[in-house]
A and B are shown apart, each in its own frame.
Chain A
Amino acid sequence: MKAIVDCNSFYCSCEKVFKPHLEGKPVVVLSNNDGCVISRTDEAKRLGVGMAGPYFKAKEIIESNNIAVFSSNYNLYGDMSMREMGTLKDLVGENNVEVYSVDEAFLNLDGFNGNFFNSAMDIRRTVEQWTGIAVSVGVAPTKTLAKMANHIAKKNKTVTQCVTVLDSREKITEALKKTKVRDLWGVGSQFATKLSSYGITTAWDLYNLSEEWVRRYLGGVVGVRLLKELHGEESILMDKELINKKMITTTRMFGNPVTELNDIKEALATYTARAAEKLRRQQSAASVINIFVVPKEENKNPTFRHGPMIGTHTILPSPTVLTNELIKPAMKMAERIYEPGRAYKKAGVILSGLVPDTSIQSNLFEPPSKSVGRFLMEMMDNINFSMRDDVVKFASTGIKRNWKMRQEFHSPRYTTRWEELYKVK
């Protein structure tokens, strides 16, 4: 049996741990730059706050209902996520936990023969007790069915007590009948539309199709895998933690539209430095650097769409881990793509063509300047990771930072900063 543990309105829950007066009250958390609503409690949902909708559209509902609003506090959410995962690893053993996202984990419960409902309840209560974060648990023979169980658990929390276990043929059938295909794990809206054109609307409809038919009409292997999972045959296995990324991206919206080349260059240098830091942490070196900017659309489009992305890339003479070797081409490219008189709202850096750092570390013919550079990077990373807030940085990343994110409703970093601890009376 597999389980999925999923936090209820995770970012809002993190905020509520240190603000108990918000229990049972509507709360929303905004994306970086306070652009969109990215997390909302059930209470906020009931008041009509949409998900991923722009903040300015929801502002009226939020203000007239006195909904508590927070800017995203990723330091806090990241720490709370580690606590959630740590609790789960303590409960079922490190090797039986697959961290699926910041607030979701699959648990491998193979070999456990007790009462699954009681155990799922234990897991739910323990996570809640230890971390203060409310979770929902779905348990079923496969990951896809566990996801479906979780969906049901979340839908009607008072009835399910946030736990749904599908451990018999009858329970699975009943659940399949009341689940829409578009709510299944791995079924995107396009796929759901395709299915409905064949008259397939519930998971039960999909379940009753033949394997040949699915292979022929529903995306071959992917469709068959989904069908098998619904039949309780495990086809999506537990993944080992994804350690090394194939691409490293750092991108942000600007607090206010930026028009000056200098500000763009500062922002891109900062993102490059951040990306290079991530690169070194996973002990990779990059062969290609790609930068892009997104200009603000000239005609005020009310549908809140981004303008087209303008980007370019540079292939580096040899793979590098050095921030300065990455910033240099980034700055040249910034000058090339910048158009005076245009306002930009977003920029980003992508490092790709990643190779293991060891391959260049052992290069006998590496010029000495490189090993000095590597030593400098290591010092810089150590200082920045222990002192935080980028104490040491490249001058090109700027001092004033006019382009910095807007975060008007940021709560303290209660769990990661000594100066920002919760004050108790």
Chain B
Amino acid sequence: MEDNFFYAANYKGSKDYTQWDVPTANATGFGAAADDYAERGIDLNEQLIKNKPSTFFMRVNSDAMIGAGIHNGDVVIVDRSLEAKNGKVIIAVLDGEMLIRRLELNDNKKRLLPATKKLSAIEINESNTFSVWGVVTYVIHSL
């Protein structure tokens, strides 16, 4: 094995799936035509969780990101394995406190932007301890 010894992250979420798990109509008369097109159903775990060991859920407890469609009480899916790029909604750790904000990376300036007029942007200085906890990938909002 060469230097690419390490495998890429791959989905390890849902249970093992075999051909036997694909549902069939089990019709006794005709109507089995649909069985020719039978396939497994949609699995939300598989769609929403790309990397299981690094994916966490969190409950949003503020209106800080309401303008981005993330409401108080919503659940967000957070992936720790993703790189926090400019413009991503992240879970930031600022001076020991976890915050959900949009990350702005400009030259050598870092800012945490809320999506509401009620809060102001936070500029990160040398005096702050700052790290990225994870990148928000989806929001689950109950209607």
Contact = CB atoms under 8 A, between A and B. Distances in A.
Partners in one complex: yes
B80 A132 contact: yes
Contacts of B57: 415, 418, 421
B51 interface: yes
Given A20-B96, A23-B96, A130-B80, A423 B5 contact: no
A114 interface: yes
Report the interface size class on chain A: 20 to 34
Contacts of A112: 1, 5
A124 to B, nearest CB: 13
Interface in B1-59: 1-3, 5-10, 12, 51-54, 56-59
A424 B2 contact: no
B58 A113 contact: no
Report the interface size class on chain B: 35 or more
Contact of B58 (A83, A84, A86, A424): A424
A113 B6 CA distance: 12
A425 B10 CA distance: 31
Contacts of A392: none
Contacts of B131: 20
Interface in B85-106: 91, 93, 96-100
Nearest to B93: A20
Contact of B98 (A83, A122, A130, A422): A422
Contacts of A92: 5-7
Do most interface residues of chain B lie in helix, strand or loop, or is the interface mixed? mixed
B98 A131 contact: no
Contacts of A132: 80, 133
B98 to A, nearest CB: 5
Do most interface residues of chain A lie in helix, strand or loop, or is the interface mixed? helix
B45 to A, nearest CB: 14
Given A90-B12, A421-B57, A423-B58, A130 B97 contact: no
Which 9 residue pairs of A and B lie closest in terms of their CB atoms, listed nearest first? A21-B96, A130-B54, A86-B53, A423-B61, A83-B53, A421-B59, A20-B93, A425-B62, A87-B53
27 contacts: A20-B96, A82-B53, A83-B52, A83-B53, A83-B54, A87-B53, A90-B9, A90-B10, A92-B5, A113-B2, A119-B5, A130-B54, A132-B80, A414-B56, A418-B57, A421-B59, A421-B75, A422-B56, A422-B59, A423-B60, A424-B58, A424-B59, A424-B60, A424-B62, A424-B76, A425-B99, A425-B100
Interface of A: 20-23, 82-84, 86-87, 89-93, 111-114, 119, 122, 129-132, 414-415, 418, 421-425
